[in-house]
Amino acid sequence: MTSRIQDSSSEDALSANASTHVFVIQRNLRAELLDRPVIRHKPARDLAAHMLLNLDDLEACWDVATNWLRSELDCQRVDTGFGRPESKHYFPGFAQARNTNFDVPSFGGTAVNNRDPIMQAMWTGSHAVVFADLKQDRRLTPGMRQRMSGAKTKSKLGAALRTKKGGYGLICADWTEHFIPNESGIFDCFEQTVADVLSPVIAAAMRIAESGKEEPIQRHNDVSVFNYGRPSAVSLDTLTDSEIEIARLVVQGLSYKEIARIRGRAFSTIDHQLRGLRKKMGASSTANLVSLLAKLDAFSN
């Protein structure tokens, strides 16, 4: 009985510490972003405030961001993914917002050649990349043109999410029903919102999802805001062949139902296997699992 009481007390203490951790990060980000005139696109202040309320839930935080941006830009799809500039492949579709009034396909599902010149332009460019008319854009390689055509993309904006450590993800806004309007306000909204709001807030949410045991972040633009190290206790030797295959599909951004269909298994079986995979990887959520897997050479290259 005494042992159970002690265990319960320890869990309560851990929960309290985690809550304090999140509160400190929220407070510091609020001071950085909302108490100072750093957000250039003024409507994005409300976005920042809403994202901060969901900071301890990475998927919810992304959901708020992608849906707000899709509505603000009046585009048909906003797509995101985590990655690194030096990786061979990039897996889109971690988070997506699509206009339900149109038949807008997903851009996720399979890897993109991350070494394509256009991908590298998004990773390394000092400004967002604009594709006003994809059919006429000579910068696109045949493979990238085919991928974008398959997603019905007519126009596109793309940019990297960055901290002082460098790029850690990409976000793209796509127009599938018409071309991007020739208005400077649309470009400024996208570029400024990505730089001023999404980059620091998503990095903080990612940090919380990755490790609740670390010390709170003191500043959102601290070099340690996003940990690029590899999971120290994770080894592929502990995973079965089936778990490795499922892991690859998870990193590609596929849903449980899509994985079940590809693997020819029941939804409940995939759910059970993913629970076991998260346990072995020490991941608290599917988002956390994707983050950990993406740092392993077997899944990032």
The per-residue pLDDT for 91 is: 80
The per-residue pLDDT for 226 is: 35
Q: Give per-residue pLDDT as tens, 91-101.
A: 887 888 999 99
Q: How far apart are CA 94 and CA 72, in angstroms?
A: 20
Q: Which residue has the tokens 């971690």?
A: 94
For residue 276, name the pLDDT band (cuts at 50, 70, 90): confident
Would you kindly state where each structural domain of the chain is located, as residue ranges?
A: 14-210, 236-300
Q: How far apart are CA 188 and CA 168, in angstroms?
A: 21
Q: Give per-residue pLDDT as tens, 101-141.
A: 999 988 876 778 899 999 999 999 999 999 999 989 988 89
Q: How, if at all, do strands 155-163 and 112-113 pair? A: unpaired
Q: Which residue has the higher pLDDT, 53 or 232?
A: 53
pTM, entire model: 0.69
Q: Give per-residue pLDDT as tens, 248-269.
A: 888 777 777 788 888 888 877 8
Distances (CA, A) of 274 to 167, 242, 268: 28, 10, 10
DSSP string over 91-116: ---SEEEE-TTS----S-SS-EETTS
11 DSSP 8-state letter: H
The per-residue pLDDT for 188 is: 95
Instruction: Encode 27-71 in three state secondary structure.
Output: HHHHHHHCCCCCCCCCCHHHHHHHHHHCCCCHHHHHHHHHHHHHH
Q: Which of 198, 191, 160 has its CA nearest to residue 73?
A: 191
14-210 and 236-300, same CATH topology: no
Q: Give per-residue pLDDT as tens, 166-223.
A: 999 999 999 999 999 988 799 999 999 999 999 999 999 988 887 543 333 323 233 2
Q: Give per-residue pLDDT as tens, 219-251.
A: 323 323 333 333 434 456 677 878 888 888 887
Q: Give per-residue pLDDT as tens, 139-157.
A: 889 988 888 988 999 999 9
Q: Does domain 236-300 have CATH number 3.20.20.70?
A: no
Q: How far apart are CA 115 and CA 121, in angstroms?
A: 10
What burial class does residue 295 get, using C-beta atoms within 10 Å of its C-beta: 0-12 exposed, 13-18 middle, 19+ buried? middle
Is the pLDDT confidence value at 90 over 50?
Answer: yes
For residue 299, name the pLDDT band (cuts at 50, 70, 90): low
- The amino acid sitting at 3 is S
Angle at 298 between CA 292 and CA 301, to 5 degrees: 100
Q: What topology does CATH give the domain 14-210?
A: Beta-Lactamase (3.30.450)
